[in-house]
Structure 1
Amino acid sequence: MKNLNILKYAFISLLTLGVMTSCETTSSYEAELPSIANIAVTNSDFSTLEAAAVAGGVAGVLSNSNPNNPSGAYTVFAPTNDAFARLGLNEQTLGVLQKPFLTNTLLYHVSNGNLAGSSITNGGSSTSALTLDRRFITRGNDTYINGSKILATDVMASNGTVHVIDKVMIATGVDIVQSAIALQSANVFTSPELSYLVEAVVYAELVDALTASDGSPSFTVFAPTDQAFIDLGAALGLTFTQPSDIRQLPKETVQNVLLNHVIANDGKFTSELSAGVVTPLGGDELTLGAFTNGTLTVTGVGNGGEVANMAIPDVQTTNGIVHVIDRVLLPNL
């Protein structure tokens, strides 16, 4: 689908932020500090972030003062190399992401002004450069922004503040269905993903139920990858070679399976989920595993104890949180 809002946000934000030339004088203290961009350049733990900022066209932005804030400052939640690696990304593999989506993702980590670590408290929020809110969650002794753990705070720069996080934050700026279509249409990765899921949602006539509207509920959705559906077909003695092959199954069966992946719980990041049993819209219980290294496993009653792992956790949409998983969650069929 063309002209998705997911892409529009990136371009609007770039035009708003711009690449600035600063005529302001700086204090001697500020002059001694590196810029946010230079912190990434000089710290080997941020080499992938540095490469992403260059590829996404925001390195110039973060090298200068912020014209949209009286203090001239930005706050950046900076993912480490390990954070990018969790998504299979490094300096060499960033090309698998479409540039507009990469830019959009980077700007989601940026906000105006200096946000001190002491101001990051449970239940609070911060508005990103994309005008999308991110929320702070305390879990035990750790603090998270969305599903990303804050590893260090208050790294001072000449043009703002850096806080270090352990996962890349992702927000689409559109609803659950449009987010899946963005993946299916290769507007996120250069190769399509979630194509089988989109086909299944259309076939099962669940598009309207998962599309945002005023007053619509907010969901947690477990979204199986294309390979997860291909594996399901093999387990059922069917051959799935293209998304339309999902239509070999009865529509009612596909509806039941899909509803087994949706929880009406206001949309939860991994940092807000705990081990135990939850009930999806389909009615058959799902079992969540222990919260470990920022993710949880999930198992359907029809999966024979085989767990699904989170491939891409904590994708924020306008009507919920999506966790991409590597197995289809089966109800009692």
Structure 2
Amino acid sequence: MKNINIKSALLALALIGTIVSCDTEYKDETPSIAGIAVANPNFSTLEGAAVQGGVVGVLSNSNPNDPSGHYTVFAPTNDAFAKLGLVNAGSLGALQNSFLTNTLLYHVSNGDLPASQIANGGTSTSALTINRRFISRGNDLYINGSKIILTDVKASNGTVHAIDKVMIATGVNIVASAILLKDAKVFKTPELTFLVAAVVKSGLAPTLSDPNANFTIYAPTDAAFKALGFKTVADVTATDASTLRTILLNHAIGGGKFTSEQTSTTAATAGGGTLTYSPFLNGAFTIKSSGITTPANMVIPDIQCSNGVVHIIDEVLLP
């Protein structure tokens, strides 16, 4: 990597210490990918996720699906999980197990992918058969919207790269992804009930479900709609469809982009409006529309859907 900050350097030292201690304990045997997570405190939440998601056995053994017997894992640190409010293994109970398992597999690929083979514009297929893409921004390299902060930690069954944000992919289209959140099939607490109701009432569901489309969607939470005055879902469905359509189109941009790919300061919306972005900081930015005074923050950025990218935000972007 071209630029590794002090925190990343400390993580590297911790990992080196882990590998040395494991070498001593196991008579110079290199630990497995799961062993690295178990032995290193920077990956304690990942360890808990692997246990709950049932993938410890997979990452402890040779890969039967690759001639090398190896995996490559982009491993989220504890800080990465904390950005989702998952501050330790105990808080992983907020997630559905099936979603957790698929999320972990999305960080895994077959074979060894060393840093020397990672380049801007390249892609890598995950164990979910969903491609992730590599993006160069300044001196940093990202996989989707997650910065790669440490590379090439060798394990007995592959390679580990540490990342600063958990990657999320739903495997379904934008509307279906919102419904997964609404129906608590991702996080156990629904977040997008009001948004789904607005999309259905506005008539935009077919457009946002189109497999040939490609959108960036800024998705307001239920709390964002309530702050705007919608007390219940019934208030949303009672609103004129054309009004909802105008509001929702101000949250859609053509072309699905991860936060790491959004380099302009403004973007034109599908409704003809303009969104203004703050400087890119710690993997995210705020978004301002003409109709609001306080910029929207990203609650969960960079959710990959089959027809675009969704960023969950805490304000409704009024035109």
Q: Could you report, residue by residue, the CA deviation over 1:102-126 in whole angstroms, capped at 9, with x for unpaired residues? A: 0010000000000011000001000
Which consecutive aligned stretches of 4+ in structure 1 deviate over 6 angstroms post-superposition?
none
Match of 2:268 among 269, 279, 284: 279
Shift of 1:193: 1.7
CA deviations on 1:268-312 (whole Å, 9 max, x unpaired) are 0000112512110111111111100000100110003x1000000
Alignment partner, residue 311 of structure 1: 299
Kindly indicate whether residue 42 of structure 2 is the aligned counterpart of residue 45 of structure 1.
Answer: yes
Equivalent AA in structure 2 for residue 250 of structure 1: D
Q: What's 1:117 paired with? A: 115
User: Cα distance, 1:196 vs. partner?
Assistant: 0.4
The answer to whether the 8 Å contact 1:277/1:286 transfers is yes
Q: List aligned pairs for 1:119-198, cutoff 5 A.
A: 119-198=117-196
Verify the 8 A CA contact 1:31 1:158 in the aligned structure 2: no
Deviation readout 1:65-108 (Å, 9 max, x if unpaired) = 00010000000000000000000002121001000000010000
Correspondence for 1:204 among 192, 196, 202: 202
**Unpaired stretches in structure 1, ≥5 consecutive residues:** 1-28, 234-238
| Aligned partner of 2:233 among 206, 228, 243 | 243
CA shift digits 1:181-219 (9 cap, x unpaired): 111111001121200000000000110010133xx2200
Residue identity in the other structure for 1:257? I
**One of 10, 15, 32 as aligned partner of 2:29:** 32
1:320 equivalenced with 2:316 (yes/no):
no
Matched residue type, 1:227: A
Output the aligned Cα RMSD: 1.3
Shift of 1:30: 11
CA distance in 1, matches of 2:119, 2:281: 22
Whether 1:71 and 2:68 are equivalent positions in the alignment is yes
Query: Runs of 5+ in structure 2 lacking a partner?
Result: 1-25
d(CA) in 2 for partners of 1:330 and 1:186?
Answer: 27
Which string of whole-angstrom CA distances, capped at 9 and with x for unpartnered residues, describes residues 118-174 of structure 1? Answer: 000001000000000000000110000000000010000000000000000000000
Work out whether 1:231 is the aligned partner of 2:227: yes
- Structure 2 residue 279 is matched with structure 1 residue 290: yes
User: Percent of aligned pairs with the same residue?
Assistant: 62
Aligned to 1:19: none
TM-score (norm. length: structure 2)? 0.90
AA aligned opposite 2:215 = F
Change (3 A) 1:155 1:282: same
Partner of 1:106: 104
Distance 2:128 2:238 in 1: 41
- Distance in 2 (alpha carbons) for counterparts of 1:106 and 1:30: 30
Separation (CA, whole Å) in 1 of partners of 2:210 and 2:51: 34
Amino acid at match of 2:228: L
The alignment's TM-score, normalised by the length of structure 1, stands at 0.86
Equivalent position of 1:252 in the other structure = 242
In structure 2, distance between residues paired with 1:277 and 1:269: 15
